Amino acid sequence: MTRTPPAPAAPASAAPGTTRVRSALRTLAIVACLPCIALKTAWIAGSHIGVPENSSLLDHRATMIAANGLSVLMDSAVVVIAFLLTRPWGRRVPA
């Protein structure tokens, strides 16, 4: 069996331009997810913001709570992944 040599260590600090780009992309990803998380959380709490008065969406409350809860979890995962991919401590998190 052949052993693969270890990958060279990454530099301790990234270039300043790279850090700014990562920070901007992280902020953009989080800001893009926040309205969806807030709206779906409001729907789970019982708000009718953005839902027409006689909509069929209001007929199945339990299904809507489950679907919106799953969607909030997925959007929250995007925020966590954005941090993991752009912060130095993200490299230490197991795959």
Coarse DSSP helix, strand, coil percentages of the chain, rounded to the nearest 5 percent: 65, 0, 35
**For 25-68, how does the pLDDT look when each residue is reduced to its tens digit (9 = 90+)?**
999 999 999 999 999 999 999 888 888 888 887 888 899 999 99
Domain edges within the chain? 17-47+58-90
Query: What distance in Å separates the CA atoms of residue 91 and residue 26, rounded to the nearest whole number?
Result: 15
Predicted confidence band of residue 22 (pLDDT cuts 50, 70, 90): confident
pLDDT on residue 70? 97
- AA letter at 62: A
User: Which SS3 state, helix, strand or coil, does residue 46 take?
Assistant: coil
Query: What distance in Å separates the CA atoms of residue 34 and residue 76, rounded to the nearest whole number?
Result: 9
